[in-house]
């Protein structure tokens, strides 16, 4: 079905005088096929990830009964569609992706085009698109905010020129651009709405949508988030008479040293050290104790909202040097690397500077 859809799209490109050409898609996971966070997601609070790289407004923002996202496959077109449910919503919903600045380097001052397919039930309004850029001080600039052009057949498009508020360009690993879709003209969210085949490209014309291979899309997503499911243990090896170490190599280099959650079989980890290429879990105690990583998550996402940090304590390496911060963030215990590109560590530094958070000293491993 997917191949049929690709061939049809190319044919349409020739018929429309586009010469059959198509541009590179800057968006990651534009078909919503990579779903490391889960197949069906209940969006509590304000925002939460649905399919990888895409965030959706939660029930805490939309109101109503619940906010839920999943995907459905269209047997007629071969398209994989994001399906969002907002029954009884009293406020607007939205879908957005933050784009890493490295992926738009060299494009400032150029025209860009965003296109997507959209439909809804329980809300007759058109979609609204908002596109924002970020400068080196993280100040945003709205580049487009309006109902996009209706191309027919549920397809919409808009064109804008990429620039920043003060003309400066953010660091490559920071956020450079944000693309948002609001259903029903920013009014109360429809009870059901769908988005599919999203595309961001250079130029003033929307070219045909061509899906990447799933394996390529998964690798792009794993730069920001990856996980190791339960059932495949990573056993620790003996480092000394009282220390064991378990090592994990990530499937791809991550955007920054990631925040880690980790589950072990019997021995709790005394220190977790993460980098852009992998993580190390250190276990203190007798070597006769069984030690293994049961599962983990590693997140180096581009967040854009504050988090609630209630506890923070340094963890140390074998030489007693601080290597990470064990923190309780939004009620969950996380291991945060001391990497200034990491969103959680940035927030920890911000709160310690404001003297609203104190990081406790860590015990030697």
Residue 363 has pLDDT above 80, yes or no: no
Q: Which of 19-23, 79-83, 289-293 has the weakest average pLDDT?
A: 19-23
Instruction: Give me the residues paired with residue 150 across strands.
Output: 156
Residue in 132, 301, 331, 304 with CA at minimum distance from that of residue 222: 301
Residue 337 has pLDDT above 80, yes or no: yes
Cα 246 from Cα 287, distance rounded (Å): 13
Residue 239 has pLDDT above 80, yes or no: no
b/e code 283-319 from CB counts within 10 Å (16+ = b): bbeeeeeebbbbbbbbbbbbbeeeeebeebebbbbee
The residue extents of the domains of the chain are 2-213, 225-353
Q: Where would I find the H helices in 158-288? A: 214-221
Cα 296 from Cα 293, distance rounded (Å): 7
Residue 289 has pLDDT above 70, yes or no: no
Q: Quick: pLDDT tens for 315-324.
A: 988 788 899 9
Q: Where would I find the H helices in 122-280? A: 214-221
Tracing tokens 């390496």 back to the chain, one arrives at: 317
Mean pLDDT of 98-127: 93
Longest dimension (CA), the chain: 72
Residue 227 has pLDDT above 70, yes or no: yes
In CATH terms, the fold of domain 2-213 is Jelly Rolls (2.60.120)
Cα 238 from Cα 220, distance rounded (Å): 34
What is the overall mean pLDDT for the chain? 88
Residue in 32, 54, 42, 26 with CA at minimum distance from that of residue 218: 32
Q: Quick: pLDDT tens for 60-107.
A: 888 989 899 999 999 988 899 999 999 999 999 999 999 999 999 999
Residue in 333, 301, 321 with CA at minimum distance from that of residue 362: 321
Sequence-distant (6+) residues with CB within 8 A of 207 are 13, 18, 21, 22, 23, 199, 201
Of the two residues 296 and 230, the one the predictor is more confident about is 296
Residue 14 has pLDDT above 50, yes or no: no
Cα 88 from Cα 101, distance rounded (Å): 37
Q: Given this model, what pLDDT does residue 319 score?
A: 81
177: tokens are 């651009």
Using 50, 70 and 90 to split pLDDT, how confident is the model at 18?
very low
Q: Given this model, what pLDDT does residue 265 score?
A: 64
Mean pLDDT of 224-251: 84
**Cα dihedral across residues 74, 22, 18, 199: positive or negative:** positive
Contact yes or no for 192/124 (Cβ under 8 A): no
| Angle 136-348-259 from CA coordinates, rounded to 5° | 90
Instruction: Give me the residues paired with residue 73 across strands.
Output: 80
Cα 108 from Cα 161, distance rounded (Å): 8
135: tokens are 């400068």
DSSP letter at 344 equals H
């Amino acid at each position: 079905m997917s191949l049929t859809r690709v061939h049809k799209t190319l044919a349409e490109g020739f018929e429309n005088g586009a010469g059959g050409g198509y541009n590179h898609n800057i968006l990651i996971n534009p078909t919503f096929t990579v779903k490391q966070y889960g197949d069906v997601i209940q969006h509590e609070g304000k925002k939460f990830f649905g399919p990888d790289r895409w965030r959706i407004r939660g029930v805490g923002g939309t109101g109503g009964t619940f906010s839920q996202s999943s995907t459905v496959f269209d047997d007629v077109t071969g398209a994989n569609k994001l399906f969002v449910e907002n029954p009884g919503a009293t406020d607007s919903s939205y879908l957005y992706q933050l784009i890493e600045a490295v992926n738009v380097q060299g494009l400032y001052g150029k025209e860009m085009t965003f296109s997507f397919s959209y439909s809804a039930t329980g809300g007759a309004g058109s979609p609204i698109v908002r596109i924002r850029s970020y400068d080196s001080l993280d100040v945003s600039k709205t580049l487009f905010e309006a109902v996009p052009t209706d191309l027919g057949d549920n397809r919409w498009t808009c064109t804008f020129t990429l620039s920043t508020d003060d003309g400066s360009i953010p660091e490559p690993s920071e956020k450079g651009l944000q693309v948002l879709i609001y259903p029903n003209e920013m009014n109360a969210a429809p009870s059901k709405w769908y988005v599919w085949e999203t595309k961001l490209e250079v130029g003033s014309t929307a070219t045909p949508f061509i899906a990447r291979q799933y394996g390529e899309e998964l690798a792009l997503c794993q730069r920001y988030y990856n996980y190791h499911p339960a059932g495949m243990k990573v056993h620790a090896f003996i480092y000394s008479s009282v220390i064991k170490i378990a090592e994990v190599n990530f499937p791809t280099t991550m955007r920054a040293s990631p925040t880690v959650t980790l589950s072990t079989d019997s021995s709790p980890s005394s220190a977790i050290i993460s980098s852009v290429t992998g993580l190390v879990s250190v276990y203190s105690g007798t070597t006769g104790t069984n030690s293994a990583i049961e599962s983990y998550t590693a997140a180096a996402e581009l967040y854009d909202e504050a988090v609630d940090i209630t506890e923070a304590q340094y963890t140390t390496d074998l030489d007693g040097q601080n290597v990470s911060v064990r923190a309780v963030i939004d009620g969950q215990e996380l291991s945060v690397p001391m990497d200034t590109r990491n969103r959680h560590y940035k927030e920890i530094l911000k709160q310690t500077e404001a003297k609203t958070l104190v990081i406790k000293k860590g015990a030697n491993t």
